[in-house]
């Protein structure tokens, strides 16, 4: 309650202006044949967000997925509350049980405040309705970011701050099933592929300093899963030089070096490693050299094992799982005109940490 009262005082200072900070989308009825909405802003405005402003010229946000309603989830929400970000990116897999969507939403609001921007992209557990319904989560945790474009909860982008933006966030849903067990089509040159590439290219044309893509499924992994978003889609993100790609799904933390295509690396090949795709291998990287991929499936549910000997391990700078430095927690990120920086902040009782930064020349 004290946090909610404190952040309410700061309402008018943040995301609506956020100076020193593209339609409010209706809930989505998922189906394999659903197409992206046209990217026109509606006249509806999100309710006033309850947030604490970042320093002038900074965007401060957190990100994690695979949450649940257990003690672990509540501990991670406590971490987020203590960090006081402007908003949070929830990277899918929320309640893990059908019929308790409102319980999940009440848990989030109880920890972060009634109007905190807890921004959703669906995971596989709610995309097909088996363990919850993304439309119900969207209803009780609606978009709070002004200027959002697309299908909130499924495929959307937003520039933050809305005026003179520092970051374009592009949230998509490749590699997971929707109604009737069918995935949405993100294959090369499909409508959703073109929507994504247009959003990335639009950020570059608008000279927005940073582009962050978020989705539920990762491609590269030393954990449980293979490349569910698809090799072509992943290589496209690298070819476009997206700065950071965030994912969940694997219940662990994994962060790659800065990876890029071109020259001796024509593209990533899942389940293999090529040192030619490594653009930078320290913690301080340069914008435009490549892409960093971070899986943050540490939002509260039980962790998976990680494999130090995985074929793709050479791409990774850091990882944590059930059998190695197990830690729930969140990625804490800040963006200014000159730098995008991140650190993993563990939940109470855990100790794993990681940090990295991408700077502009």
Longest dimension (CA), the chain: 55
**Helix (H) or strand (E) run with residue 237 in it:** helix 231-239
In contact, 345 and 79? CB cutoff 8 Å:
yes
Average per-residue pLDDT for the chain:
88
Among 19-28, 66-75, 248-257, name the one with the lowest average pLDDT: 19-28
Give domain 2-26+47-359's CATH architecture: 4-Layer Sandwich (3.60)
Q: Which residues contact 315 (CB under 8 A, 6 or more apart)?
A: 220, 256, 257, 259, 273, 277, 278
Give the Cα-Cα-Cα angle 144, 149, 154 (nearest 5 degrees).
80
pLDDT tens by residue, 29-75: 333 333 333 333 333 333 333 445 567 799 999 999 999 999 999 99
DSSP string, 87-150: EEEE-S--SSSTT-HHHHHHHHHHHH-TT--EEEB--HHHHSSTT--HHHHHHHS---STT-EE
Among 26-35, 246-255, 271-280, 285-294, name the one with the lowest average pLDDT: 26-35
The total number of residues written for the chain in this structure: 361
In contact, 158 and 170? CB cutoff 8 Å:
no
pLDDT at 236: 98
Q: What is the rounded distance in angstroms from the CA atom of residue 64 to the CA atom of residue 87?
A: 12
Tokens of 62: 């957190």
Model pTM score: 0.86
pLDDT at 34: 38
Q: What is the rounded distance in angstroms from the CA atom of residue 92 to the CA atom of residue 122?
A: 5
12 — pLDDT class (breaks 50, 70, 90): very low
Q: What is the rounded distance in angstroms from the CA atom of residue 295 to the CA atom of residue 253?
A: 5
pLDDT tens by residue, 148-187: 999 999 999 999 999 999 999 999 999 999 998 999 999 9
Collapsing DSSP states into helix, strand and coil, what is residue 293?
A: strand
If you compute the radius of gyration of the chain from its CA atoms, what whole number of angstroms results? Answer: 18
Helix axes 71-83, 101-112, angle to 10 degrees: 40
pLDDT at 361: 82
What is the residue extent of each domain of the chain?
2-26+47-359
Segment 310-337 mean pLDDT:
98
Q: What percent of the chain has pLDDT over 90?
A: 83
Tokens of 206: 């608008």
pLDDT tens by residue, 200-250: 999 999 999 999 999 999 999 999 999 999 999 999 999 999 999 999 999
């Amino acid at each position: 309650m004290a946090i909610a009262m404190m952040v309410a005082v700061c309402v008018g200072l943040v995301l609506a202006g956020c100076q020193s900070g593209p339609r409010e989308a209706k809930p989505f009825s998922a189906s394999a044949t659903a197409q992206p909405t046209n990217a026109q802003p509606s006249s509806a405005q999100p309710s006033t967000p309850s947030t604490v402003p970042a320093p002038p010229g900074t965007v401060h946000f957190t990100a994690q997925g695979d949450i649940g309603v257990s003690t672990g989830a509540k501990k991670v929400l406590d971490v987020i509350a203590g960090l006081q970000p402007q908003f949070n990116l929830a990277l899918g897999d929320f309640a893990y049980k059908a019929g308790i969507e409102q319980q999940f939403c009440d848990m989030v609001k109880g920890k972060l405040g009634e109007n905190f921007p807890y921004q959703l992209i669906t995971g596989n557990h709610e995309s097909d309705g088996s363990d919850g319904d993304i439309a119900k989560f969207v209803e009780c945790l609606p978009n709070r970011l002004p200027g959002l474009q697309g299908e909130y909860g499924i495929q959307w982008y937003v520039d933050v701050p809305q005026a003179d933006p520092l970051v374009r966030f592009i949230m998509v849903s490749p590699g997971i099933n929707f109604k009737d067990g069918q995935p949405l089509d993100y294959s090369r040159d499909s409508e959703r592929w073109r929507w994504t590439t247009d959003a990335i290219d639009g950020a570059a044309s608008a000279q927005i300093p940073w582009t962050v893509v978020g989705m539920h499924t990762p491609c590269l992994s030393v954990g449980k899963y293979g490349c569910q978003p698809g090799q072509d889609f992943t290589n496209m993100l690298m070819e476009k030089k997206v700065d950071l790609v965030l994912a969940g799904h694997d219940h662990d933390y994994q962060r790659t070096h800065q990876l890029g295509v071109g020259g001796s690396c024509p593209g990533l090949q899942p389940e293999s490693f090529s040192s030619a795709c490594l653009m930078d291998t320290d913690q301080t990287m340069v914008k435009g050299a490549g892409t960093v991929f971070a899986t943050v499936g540490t939002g509260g549910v039980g962790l998976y094992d990680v494999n130090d000997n995985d074929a793709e391990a050479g791409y990774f700078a850091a990882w944590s799982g059930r059998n190695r430095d197990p830690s729930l927690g969140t990625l804490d990120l800040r963006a200014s005109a000159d730098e995008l920086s991140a650190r993993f902040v563990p939940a109470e009782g855990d100790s794993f940490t990681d940090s990295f930064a991408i700077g502009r020349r």
